[in-house]
Structure 1
């Protein structure tokens, strides 16, 4: 994260405190809602186990989502975009791949020309040998 001038560096406790408070508040709301609405009226017994289960699930899911958002928000170091590695620009990658393809094409064309020149030389040598034979 980019630090603003005059702000103190955020430590682990500062990063964890916010998501824990959010998860705790949402778990309490889920507990109260489930406890009230799952009972089904004043004649029935309160559903305490169901309310605790829902509150625990909401707490865990909220923490996981907050942790994921914290990880996604963290920007990469600017030096990662330079040089080699996965963060090189696609224009550089394309230019390098194109240069490799062109070099490979030129090499293949040169090999093909050389192979054809050898075949022509062999055919000319065979024709000269046939013409030199008397009465063939």
Structure 2
């Protein structure tokens, strides 16, 4: 069995944070430069900060969603009792019961 490397919370969060920060900074400068409409006008820093913040949040949400989708569940999560019972096991048990009852009825019918 292969050894699983456990990734700490810092390792999982640092990548998306760096990506989101870089995109936010690029967005801030892009909006501040192009939003002014020329070199004679004052750059709209508030607009740049607002849109950069929105880009930062959206990037973090997208990255978090992609991380959640990528992680497979442990196979042992489907096993257990109560709410965590495996449907394959339940089906196999029900099938075995039906077959046993059918054999019992067939044996009674022959006698």
Per the TM superposition, whether the score is higher than 0.5 is yes
Which runs of structure 2 are paired with 1:33-72 in the superposition (5 Å)?
33-72=30-69
The one of the two structures with greater contact order (alpha-carbon pairs below 8 A, sep at least 6) is 2
Q: What TM-score comes out, normalization by structure 1 length?
A: 0.56
Distance 2:42 2:31 in 1: 13
- Runs of 4+ in structure 1 off by over 4 angstroms are none
**How many corresponding residue pairs?**
91
Distance 1:87 1:34 in 2: 53
What do you get for the CA RMSD once the two structures are aligned?
A: 2.7
Unmatched 5+ residue regions in structure 1? 100-136
Unmatched 5+ residue regions in structure 2? 99-111
